[in-house]
Structure 1
């Protein structure tokens, strides 16, 4: 064999060693970058999700306090004058250190929250238990009302959220005691 032939074989062997595995390194680099990108995206999603959840928890607490304030305002008005509970939907306001209804159909806008105070009639059956209005022998209990206070807001992701509290209000000064 001549020297130039041996030299060419060595060059070909060196070429195969160098360039045959070159594509493999590129694939390894792409796979490593894809894994890193996936891990980074997962970590970012986890962090942002926990921040969003923390923010949502604070908003829920605020909304719950506003709903409870609405319940307490209505209870104060009821204790002062049952005859003021004539609305089906109203807002409340504190005027001259006294809670008052704003008027039929009104809502309150409290920053990013909206509060609705809703009243519903209460029906009873012949035994005095609360029932639906379509139950046979159901009658309207004029001395009771169902109260629902609903506080709504939109989250940062523009989803609608709400907290609702309900309570049965009764005019105890007009309720006749049960006979033994």
Structure 2
């Protein structure tokens, strides 16, 4: 390694660094979330993220064609159905919430009137599960494999959006490091 270079490891980000845990929702995220509900003819769809430092779930984007829902933008992780989906790190098909006792004590079904759900993981820059894209239906529904594939494709678009944000943040950090190194070299000369 040449003398004078700043030593740094791989860039690490939390979702706040990438601007995903605050501010107004972005049009691109809303379009993908809406398309997921439209493609699968669902009653609603959500893009949720795990905010692990604050032990909460953050709803980044939601599509509710029949009106608003009483689901807050941020709520505790401990009783979250969507947090359980994210932790599984795989596709989750729920034909009927009434038949699954493992989801009985979760918060979301009490805040939103849905009976079935299909979820696909959304990944961060290091391919770690950071969230999920969920399509919900007001009636019990057996989700087809083609529907799962369609939702996986939409979740992949969200993952690529997150990767793009991380790439841009990495470039910003590299530029700042380069500027700092240039200033140090000016003072040395």
TM-score higher than 0.5 = no
After TM superposition, the score normalised by the length of structure 2 is: 0.24
**TM-score with structure 1 setting the length:** 0.24
The structure that has the greater radius of gyration is 1
The structure carrying a bigger strand percent of its residues is 1
Of structures 1 and 2, the one with the larger relative CO (CA 8 A, separation 6+) is: 2
